[in-house]
Structure 1
């Protein structure tokens, strides 16, 4: 058995450790972890969201530095190996300005639809990533429809006016977006109907009820895609709560369950996307529909301070989602300027910060955390059974190539000693630094 061990602490991220030989030393019984066989969902990948402010920040770095950052995120051998990423359809809160792809009132035929703006920011960002990962899976979602389809007529807040003309036009809007991206060499694998449909936001947003989303998917979006022969999938997402206690009075406490109870929609929808408070519904959906993949669509963003403490909070999020059936985990802003201010004033974390004064890239704690997972857990990996008291601080996988990967957290402020028992019974003793992350890659020798 050959074992690689990578450790990250706040002061020394991404260092290679030497693993003691099997059977040496004794670990306290209070620190044990046993790795078993495959029990969980296949992994689709890890990634982040392509946002305009990220590309704008990257332009403030010299070309060599920018390429280094892109390799750090997407290179499958030397970087995070991101391969499952998101992009907005129109503006979100990390667009430089708010926009849609058709602001021409009453253009139900979408004759003036255009993604010209995306040629300035999002498409170059995505194309540069594809140079490292040509097999990237991309999914897209709108934050707001065109304003003339909404009440009130604004990007933020409001709802889609639910008339047949509007709904047909909006389905066509999705189709036009997928087709226009394909012309640019960017293949959209799936669309999610609405970002956070249960929230009336200060930034681009649109409120939907579960019955409205069900009917739009069944009666408008799916027929439009089918008539065009689009291979693009339709997913139910991105749901930010999932359990709506107020909606229980209307019969839809469980968002996904209500929509998927419709037999026709159930045959259309190819997966479910959850983010933020949607984490409370992941287990319910996975147990009810184990055949449907679930993805975590937007990592919680904290406050722009990019602290090591916040990275530990995000580890807990990743652990929760993966242990409860999620097949992909998607970070939010991969790159931002210092502070990470959104267009509506919320400072948020980023994996990498570009100093606009010097053009230097700063690799933040969550960059290393994401890399501990994404660099070694391959597409098609399956989650492993873990046992012992340390299983709440670890996630295990077996890759298609046969390697076992374990990602382990020591959240304590003190050093901890861990006895790791493999499926074949071999024991290893590891001393884990305080407040640290670890990745073990176990290669079976022929």
Structure 2
């Protein structure tokens, strides 16, 4: 009798163990979403599955416990021409666009960039204080932004109050510059483009100089300019968590711009901007950027500068700056890094644009970037800047027909940002140019996989001790979510 009782107990225990194992297996869930040039954001649960064969050779291996840099945010840039494009729509249609970009159901963007004054996608030249020699900033104001940029920004904050906004100027007020002009180069854009400016060629400044007036009163006034901008934007309900003092710091185009030698920018940050933020008790961070130089010595000098280094919390890179980020990430492993502006193209707005952005994403995340931003999120059907350059955008709004088109790059970013949020981590994975992996705060793992081949293929993936098989469509971007 006792032996039978023991046998029953053993069988019962074994059954419970088997049930528990079954429940664990059942609890593991893997989903896939894919996009091709003709089929966008398609959920293909049957295309991805857990496999029992954990010894199968993996095409991609994700080291699930090897977390790398924290993610600070994914998003894009706000500009005046984006706002004027979306204002062509009805309120209902405009809200659909804003939901697509900022809501949890859409791209779920967590970070954005705003120009401080005019950019090449402003309606015209302007700054926050265009009164010459107003060193006390008596006439500083954000009145123009209250009617254009701030309503645009508030659409993001409305959908997520924790939205992270940062700002950078393309140019200081013209009276603070050596040539006393918003731009640095005269003439048209070239290559058949229209626009440009009427600057006297004698006022041109090329990249081999600092275009800012490096006198104490101008440096103090410019530090005050940034401080007043941060305070004014906070009061307007669009707080700025970080500023980068100059867009494309070594570029001299014929639209708003200002070049700075690294010695001069470091001096400005270390002896004027940083101390001013400190004196005004601002918690807004100062980053170095945006860096467009392929030579890492620009950043190296600033991060070692005796007074600037304590104020610089991160570095932002764009365009040719991508060539210097590998060196900086190795030499300064604790500094935060960002991709500030993806390459804008020539209004192709097609799959080639997605491929270029994908390649850039892989490069930046593999070299320590914790945030990645698109350039213009929204433009009209011309895509043109006020200075004549037609560029890509995630969303195109036709001013005549009011048709809204979501381009391939919109979906590429959605495949990333819909899932990956601030506080998540980039994950170590096997070498390769066609995948990215992230660990979410809820314990899930996200894997982005690009099938660049013109035929469907099956990929074997290992995430820790879990084996996954995924059937990928030809020329597709895929997000695999392992809960």
Give the TM-score, by structure 1 length: 0.93
Deviation at 1:420, TM superposition (A): 1.2
Spell out the pairing of 1:66-81 with structure 2 (5 A cutoff): 66-76=94-104, 78-81=105-108
Query: 2:242 — aligned with what?
Result: 190
Checking the alignment, whether the CA contact within 8 Å between 1:96 and 1:343 is kept in structure 2 is: yes
Question: How far apart in 2 are the matches of 1:234 and 1:62?
Answer: 38
Aligned length: 429
CA drift of 1:25 comes to 9.4
1:20–1:125: structure 2 CA closer, same or farther, 3 Å change rule?
closer
Partner residue in 1 for 2:226: 174
Return the offset for 1:358: 2.2
Question: Quick one: distance in 2 between partners of 1:23 and 1:83?
Answer: 34
Q: Is the 8 A contact 1:27 1:419 kept in 2?
A: no
Confirm whether residue 366 of structure 1 aligns to residue 409 of structure 2. Answer: yes
Q: Please give the per-residue CA displacement for 1:53-106, whole angstroms capped at 9, x wherever unaligned.
A: 000000011111100100110002x01111111101000000011111111111
What residue in structure 1 maps to residue 272 of structure 2?
220
Change (3 A) 1:416 1:115: same
* 8 Å CA contact 1:306, 1:349 repeated in 2: yes
**CA distance in structure 2 between the partners assigned to 1:26 and 1:363 by the alignment:** 40
Task: State yes or no: 1:82 paired with 2:134.
Answer: no
Residue 282 of structure 1 and its aligned partner are, at CA, apart by 1.0
Cα distance in 1 between the residues matched to 2:350 and 2:163: 29
Show the counterpart of 1:296.
339
> How far apart are 1:416 and its partner, in Å?
2.2
Q: 1:339 aligns with which of 382, 385, 399?
A: 382
List alignment gaps of at least 5 residues for structure 2. 1-27, 185-204, 206-210
Q: Given that residues 191 and 235 in structure 1 are in contact (C-alpha distance below 8 angstroms), is that contact kept between their aligned partners in structure 2? A: yes
Change (3 A) 1:233 1:187: same
Q: Which runs of 4+ in 1 moved over 4 A?
A: 24-29
Instruction: Give, in whole Å, the separation in 2 of the partners of 1:231 and 1:179.
Output: 11
What residue ranges of structure 1 are gaps of 5+ in the alignment? 244-252
Q: Does the 8 Å CA contact 1:26/1:429 hold for their aligned counterparts?
A: no
Q: 2:68 aligns with which of 40, 43, 50?
A: 40
Indicate the residue corresponding to 2:443 in structure 1: 402
RCO comparison, higher one (Cα < 8 Å, 6+): 1
How far has the Cα of 1:242 moved from its partner? 4.3
Match of 1:200 among 239, 243, 252: 252
Q: 1:428 and 1:268 mapped to 2: Cα distance? A: 45
CA contact (8 A) 1:396 1:407 kept: yes
- Among 283, 286, 297, the residue aligned to 1:234: 286
Partners of 1:40 and 1:373 in 2: CA distance: 17
Q: Which structure has the bigger radius of gyration?
A: 2
Shift in Å at residue 38 of structure 1?
2.3
Alignment of 1:260-409 (within 5 A): 260-387=303-430, 391-409=432-450
1:435 aligns with 2:478: no
Q: Please tell me whether the aligned partners of residues 32 and 48 of structure 2 are also in contact (alpha carbons under 8 angstroms).
A: no
User: Are positions 1:3 and 2:30 aligned together?
Assistant: yes
The answer to whether the Cα contact below 8 Å between 1:3 and 1:19 also exists between their aligned partners in 2 is no
How far does residue 318 in structure 1 lie from its aligned partner after superposition?
A: 0.6
Answer whether contact 1:210 1:259 (CA < 8 A) is retained: yes
Deviation by residue 1:381-426 (Cα, 9 ceiling, x = unmatched) = 11112126xx3200001011101000110112222221112211x3
TM-score (norm 2): 0.86
Mapping 1:97-116, distance limit 5 Å = 97-116=124-143
Shift of 1:231: 1.2
State how far apart, in whole Å, the 1-side matches of 2:49 and 2:96 are.
36
- For residues 403 and 139 of structure 1, what CA distance do their matches in structure 2 show? 29
Does the CA-based 8 Å contact 2:30-2:48 persist in structure 1? no
Q: Contact between 1:27 and 1:418, CA under 8 Å: does it hold in 2?
A: no
Q: 1:45 to 1:19 in 2, by over 3 A?
A: same
> What secondary structure sits across from 1:202 in the alignment?
coil
- Contact between 2:31 and 2:48, CA under 8 Å: does it hold in 1? no
TM-aligned CA deviation for residue 226 of structure 1: 1.2
Q: Is the 8 Å Cα contact of residues 271 and 308 (structure 2) preserved in structure 1?
A: no
* CA–CA distance in structure 1, aligned partners of residues 86 and 66 of structure 2: 40
Residues 239-276 of structure 1 show CA distances to partners (whole Å, capped at 9, x for unaligned) of 11241xxxxxxxxx611101111233221111111011
Matched, 1:136 2:177: no
Residue 380 of structure 1 and its aligned partner are, at CA, apart by 1.1
Task: For residue 122 of structure 1, report the CA deviation from its aligned partner.
Answer: 0.4
| C-alpha distance in structure 1 between counterparts of 2:266 and 2:155, whole Å | 36
Q: Structure 1 432/24 Cα, relative in aligned 2: closer, same or farther at 3 Å? A: farther
- Secondary structure at the aligned position of 1:263 is classed as coil
- Judging changes above 3 Å, is the alpha-carbon distance between structure 1 residues 427 and 171 closer, same or farther for their aligned structure 2 residues? same
Mapped contact 1:396–1:406 kept (Cα < 8 A): yes
What SS does the corresponding residue of 2:309 show, helix, strand or coil? helix
